[in-house]
């Protein structure tokens, strides 16, 4: 039976390595990782990080201990989440890096990752399995959808809404009160000055 601090990381690539670093700083015991590749990057980081099997799906079942989804690709994350949503196993946990800042009035779902230097400000809400990556800023009253990824250095002004499964790319800027739909890709360095409909890809300054 897993202890209260024993967790499983789902995904052994680059993002898995980042999540593992934060988990160790929080004093969590990483029992191992799931990945379709036994020799994933995480396996080379430490002998403590052992491969425990394939990603949940047709070849593998749900994890048997608390877990966090650490795949970087949003479509791959969604596929795993679809499988796990039908399971009754242990709940996901949040990994909030010790150098992240989370307002006491912010509302976080489950399975959230916040990287070093990330800021989640007053009254912001972050839905399940979202990533607020290193140095990203989520200002007051923002709403971040499930499985969205706010990439390193991205800045969201106040009262911005980001739909589920949307990537806000490296260093992008979103002006206050903007709504970005689900399944969007906001390119690195883009500046978003108007609302973005579902499924859009936007890049440039201003974003088009």
Q: Are the CB atoms for 184 and 160 separated by under 8 Å? A: no
Confidence tier at 91 by pLDDT (50, 70, 90): confident
- Classify 95-197 by CATH class: mainly beta
Report residue 3's pLDDT band, with 50, 70 and 90 as the boundaries: very low
* pLDDT of 160 strictly over 80: yes
First vs last Cα of the chain: how many Å apart? 52
Say if pTM beats, i.e. exceeds, 0.85. yes
At 105, the pLDDT band (50, 70, 90 cuts) reads very high
Confidence band of 27 (pLDDT split at 50, 70, 90)? very high
What's the confidence (pLDDT) of residue 45?
Answer: 78
Please list, in sequence order, all residues whose beta carbon lies within 8 angstroms of the beta carbon of residue 195, skipping any fewer than 6 positions away.
178, 179, 180
Judge residue 98's burial from the number of C-beta atoms within 10 Å of its C-beta, 0-12 exposed, 13-18 middle, 19 or more buried.
Answer: exposed
Give pLDDT, residue 88.
65
Average pLDDT taken over every residue of the chain: 92
Whether 86 has a pLDDT exceeding 80, the answer reads no
The beta-carbon contacts of 48-51 under 8 Å, at least 24 apart in sequence, are: 49/9, 49/12, 49/20, 51/12
Lookup: tokens for 121: 């400000």
For the chain, the structural domain boundaries read: 6-84, 95-197
Q: Which residues are catalytic?
A: 140
Would you place residue 61 in the very low, low, confident or very high pLDDT band (cuts 50, 70, 90)?
low
99 vs 41: which has the higher pLDDT: 99
Query: Are 53 and 33 spatial neighbours (Cβ–Cβ below 8 Å)?
Result: no
Query: What CATH class has 6-84?
Result: alpha beta
Q: From CA 140, how far away is CA 7, in angstroms rounded?
A: 31
Q: Token digits for 152?
A: 């390193």
What pLDDT was estimated at residue 1?
Answer: 34
Indicate if the pLDDT at residue 2 is higher than 60: no
Per-residue pLDDT tens over the stretch 112-149 = 999 999 999 999 999 999 999 999 999 999 999 999 99
Predicted pLDDT at 5: 65
- pLDDT tier for residue 42 given thresholds of 50, 70 and 90: confident
């Amino acid at each position: 039976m897993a202890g209260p601090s024993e967790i499983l990381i789902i995904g052994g690539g680059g993002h898995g390595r980042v999540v593992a670093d934060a988990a160790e700083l929080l004093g969590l015991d990483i029992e191992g990782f799931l990945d379709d590749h036994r020799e994933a990057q995480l396996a080379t980081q430490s002998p403590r990080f052992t491969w425990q099997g394939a990603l949940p799906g047709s070849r593998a079942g749900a994890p048997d201990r608390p877990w966090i989804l650490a795949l970087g690709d949003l479509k791959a994350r969604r596929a795993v989440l679809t499988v796990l949503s039908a399971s009754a196993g242990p709940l996901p946990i949040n990994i909030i890096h010790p150098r992240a800042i989370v307002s006491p009035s912010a509302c976080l779902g489950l399975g959230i990752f916040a990287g070093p230097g990330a800021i989640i400000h007053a009254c912001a809400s972050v839905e399940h399995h979202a990533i607020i990556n290193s140095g990203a800023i989520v200002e007051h009253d923002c709403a971040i959808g499930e499985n969205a990824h706010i990439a390193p250095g991205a800045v969201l002004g106040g009262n911005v809404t980001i739909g589920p499964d949307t990537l806000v790319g490296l260093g992008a800027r979103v002006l206050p009160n903007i709504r970005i739909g689900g399944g969007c890709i906001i390119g690195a360095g883009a500046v978003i000055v108007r609302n973005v409909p579902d499924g859009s890809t936007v890049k440039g300054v201003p974003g088009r």
